[in-house]
Amino acid sequence: MNSEQFFEKLWLDYVHLAPQAELVRQLFLKDNRKVVNDHVAFRTFSATPLQLDNLVPLIESMGYQFQADYDFSAKKLRACSYIHPDPSVPKIFCSELLTEQLSTKSQNIIQDYTQQIVEQPLSLEVFWSGRHWSMPSYQDYQTLMEESEYGAWLLALGIRVNHFTLSINHLKSINSISQVIERVKNAGFVVNSVGGEVKGTPSDLLEQGSTMADQQAFVFADGATYQIPTCFYEFAKRYPDSKGNIYQGFVAANADKIFESTHAKK
């Protein structure tokens, strides 16, 4: 499977959970020939057969190269980013929940489900494979949510992309992230305002914003049905560095706030 096929498969799974993404994309296709994807992101649990170190070789099999490590100590996450030699291929950002840093109660909940994972050779299909364990009870979901929204999201949705990212640099009709966000808001979508609607500044070489995640109804193991956050759509504007090269990395302070796009809407 090449990278183009990989992203086509990802998009199909993604828009099933985040139909807003296609609607937002269409907003910009009205006056732009195409909408380019800057990057995607994935979440996983540490200390399982699906831990980050086991997913990385799959990413590298498509020609990706390691870019940087990131630490989100408050959220108990570690992450890394990967970039492709072909600049037209989207970057990949992967993170994992460091479950050993959670409370015993949360660790036990996660282990009850992740011990169901069948250890087997992994292929690229794992990135849209969803849960490798049974649907949690709503009580377990809520209990984990109290300590780690990231963990509760992952427990309910499994391994899949949580966002695609519109590259503002590739738009012809608009080049301001504030204007992009305003257009999205005017179309009725809720925007992540944690730390401000725009995360980062031109001096950081990266500005980011996002919608809040779509919500869908899920039937939990105890038979109860609840609307929970699924996936969101991000927007990124990159700036040139001192040598005139467009910055291709990520800013941890921005990403920390973007993670909160999957929090339940207040």
The whole-number pLDDT of residue 1 equals 85
Q: Is pLDDT of 264 > 80?
A: no
CB 81 within 8 A of CB 41: no
**Residues in the chain, how many?**
266
Q: Is pLDDT of 266 > 60?
A: no
Tens digit of each residue's pLDDT (9 = 90 or more) over 148-177: 999 999 999 999 999 999 999 999 989 899
Give the whole-angstrom CA distance, residue 197 versus residue 194.
7
Q: Is pLDDT of 141 > 80?
A: yes
Q: Is pLDDT of 249 > 70?
A: yes
Tens digit of each residue's pLDDT (9 = 90 or more) over 49-100: 999 999 999 999 999 999 999 999 999 999 999 999 999 999 999 999 999 9
As a CATH number, domain 3-262 is 3.10.180.50
> What residues have CB less than 8 Å from 233, skipping those under 6 apart?
18, 20, 21, 24, 25, 163, 164, 165, 166, 210, 211
Give the whole-angstrom CA distance, residue 222 versus residue 198.
39
Q: Is pLDDT of 265 > 80?
A: no
Average pLDDT over residues 127-131: 97
Rg (C-alpha) for the chain, rounded Å, is 18
Q: How many C-beta atoms lie closer than 10 Å to residue 128's C-beta?
A: 19
Beta bridge partners of 44: 96
Give the whole-angstrom CA distance, residue 219 versus residue 230.
14
Residue 9 pLDDT class (50, 70, 90 cuts): very high
The whole-number pLDDT of residue 25 equals 96
Average pLDDT over residues 258-264: 85
Torsion from C-alpha of 101, 153, 144, 219, nearest 10 degrees: -150
Q: What are phi and psi of 80, to 5 degrees?
A: -150, 155
Give the whole-angstrom CA distance, residue 24 versus residue 9.
19
Average pLDDT over residues 111-137: 97
> What's the mean pLDDT when you consider all of the chain?
95
Tens digit of each residue's pLDDT (9 = 90 or more) over 178-207: 999 999 999 999 999 999 999 999 999 999
Query: Which residue do the tokens 């992450």 mark?
Result: 79
Average pLDDT over residues 237-262: 91
The whole-number pLDDT of residue 36 equals 96
Q: For a pLDDT cut of 70, what percent of the chain falls above it?
A: 99
Looking at the chain, which runs of residues are DSSP E strands?
A: 37-45, 65-72, 77-83, 91-97, 163-167, 206-210, 215-219, 225-229, 232-238
> What residues have CB less than 8 Å from 53, skipping those under 6 apart?
none
CB 150 within 8 A of CB 213: no
Q: How many C-beta atoms lie closer than 10 Å to residue 134's C-beta?
A: 10
Q: Which two tokens stand for residue 112?
A: 């009850």
